[in-house]
Structure 1
């Protein structure tokens, strides 16, 4: 029988993951794997996490390839206990999928894969996102009151970790956007300087020449600027900007 970790142990372990230099996807995968371990006492339990942002459901992490496949089916069909748990903020338990009449398309896939019971527990993320964890087992009635309580305790900890991970991902995306913007600004400024020298014109006139050429050729301003700098024998410029 696997040892069930206490919530504070999980919190320390997950916090350490965030403190270390791990990829966000690796952190979320570890969250799913630890969740599966929490409920894998005398049976194998699979786990997946589905996140909804901007009206789109995405499988962000799973403990196994089988869990990945099941969650992708659920997101694809846009029906299932995990999505129901997201919408209602309620724990959804399916003791025997063979007797479940809801979510017919998804349940057909679950039965065909030999899975027999499902538990879906909502995660508390933020005002713009909803998420839930799916737990799967090959046995019927695998999730009783004790297992449901364990899952709920774990998701209290996991919710914080997932929310932090998503916030870190947003910051990383913002930093990358700033880096790209700075690099674009650099190459455009250099191209403007080249145009000023070639045409003996002002900076404003050079900007207008570049924009007009970009529109006429149906090419992005940055791409045209790179072509101009390359044409005069200069390498693509870089910036010292660090996110």
Structure 2
């Protein structure tokens, strides 16, 4: 009895554990956005046969890349061309929320400038898939936060199966990157708030020093600091620090 032929469906089922294992490894080992994007790009390069390099890009709502990573300088240059020209498969995948495949850059007319320039670099075909973050409530379409792309130096190096594999890798990667972005934004806001509170504390302390030293009101002390800040073209917190330090320096108090 002859065995059943291996179908695309069976092949995808066999690849799923390996793909998700790659992503799981990223979730466990990376804690910053830029590093995670680099690891995901490397995983894409290693996953797709025929790849000569891969890249990952997170893009803001204005279409500007915020975090990018490339497995080599060839991919970096191809991506840079997309951002400089404002056209290419990566930007199209992000904007449309759909996978974009280029079978032969020498015959590609959707992005003529980018295609011609990339072909001169030795790139012949590529795939770009969006990194989509689903709406937790299911009320709206998934949000594209960037794109994952793989390049080849041969035409027709990728097919529909390649798109499916890359999309499987991009899905959980997008969710992970979105969570990392949120964490980094929260940490940044926290630092800004701490700096603001620290600056306010310095100003309040400096006002107290001036009120005692100059025998002026709180408003008068603040006006002295503001005048000095403008004259020296420096921050109010820096003026406050200069006022406080001599007042608390033991050498100045002896």
Task: Report the counterpart of residue 23 of structure 1 in structure 2.
Answer: 32
The CA distance in 2 between the partners of 1:150 and 1:129, in whole Å, is 18
Deviation of 1:25 (Å): 1.7
Per-residue Cα deviation, 1:152-200 (whole angstroms, up to 9, x for no partner): 1111121112111211221221122123223322332232222122211
Q: TM-score, normalised by structure 1?
A: 0.82
Deviation of 1:232 (Å): 5.0
- Gapped regions of structure 1 (runs ≥ 5): 236-243
Asked if the contact 2:131/2:144 (under 8 Å) is kept, the reply is: no
Judging changes above 3 Å, is the alpha-carbon distance between structure 1 residues 223 and 108 closer, same or farther for their aligned structure 2 residues?
farther
- Gapped regions of structure 2 (runs ≥ 5): 1-13, 135-141
Question: Is residue 106 of structure 1 aligned with residue 114 of structure 2?
Answer: yes
The CA distance in 1 between the partners of 2:239 and 2:116, in whole Å, is 53
Per-residue Cα deviation, 1:101-121 (whole angstroms, up to 9, x for no partner): 122222232112101001110
Tell which deviates more after alignment, 224-233 or 172-181: 224-233
Asked if the contact 1:191/1:228 (under 8 Å) is kept, the reply is: yes
Asked if the contact 1:53/1:128 (under 8 Å) is kept, the reply is: no
Asked if the contact 2:51/2:150 (under 8 Å) is kept, the reply is: no
The CA distance in 2 between the partners of 1:181 and 1:211, in whole Å, is 17
Deviation of 1:34 (Å): 1.0
The CA distance in 2 between the partners of 1:8 and 1:131, in whole Å, is 19
Asked if the contact 1:82/1:120 (under 8 Å) is kept, the reply is: yes
Asked if the contact 2:23/2:169 (under 8 Å) is kept, the reply is: no
Judging changes above 3 Å, is the alpha-carbon distance between structure 1 residues 109 and 122 closer, same or farther for their aligned structure 2 residues?
same
Q: Which has the larger radius of gyration?
A: 2
SS of 2:64's partner is: strand
Tell which deviates more after alignment, 53-62 or 139-148: 53-62
Asked if the contact 1:53/1:129 (under 8 Å) is kept, the reply is: no
Tell which deviates more after alignment, 224-233 or 115-124: 224-233
Judging changes above 3 Å, is the alpha-carbon distance between structure 1 residues 24 and 91 closer, same or farther for their aligned structure 2 residues?
closer
Task: Report the counterpart of residue 65 of structure 1 in structure 2.
Answer: 73
The CA distance in 1 between the partners of 2:68 and 2:133, in whole Å, is 13
2:18 aligns with one of 6, 12, 25 = 6
Judging changes above 3 Å, is the alpha-carbon distance between structure 1 residues 182 and 56 closer, same or farther for their aligned structure 2 residues?
farther
Per-residue Cα deviation, 1:18-61 (whole angstroms, up to 9, x for no partner): 4xxx433212211111121111x3x3332112222141421522
The CA distance in 2 between the partners of 1:100 and 1:117, in whole Å, is 10
Question: Is residue 185 of structure 1 aligned with residue 200 of structure 2?
Answer: yes
Q: TM-score, normalised by structure 2?
A: 0.79
The CA distance in 2 between the partners of 1:160 and 1:128, in whole Å, is 10
Task: Report the counterpart of residue 49 of structure 1 in structure 2.
Answer: 56
Question: Is residue 37 of structure 1 aligned with residue 23 of structure 2?
Answer: no
The CA distance in 1 between the partners of 2:127 and 2:43, in whole Å, is 16
1:150 aligns with one of 160, 165, 172 = 165
Tell which deviates more after alignment, 24-33 or 60-69: 60-69
Question: Number of residue pairs matched?
Answer: 228
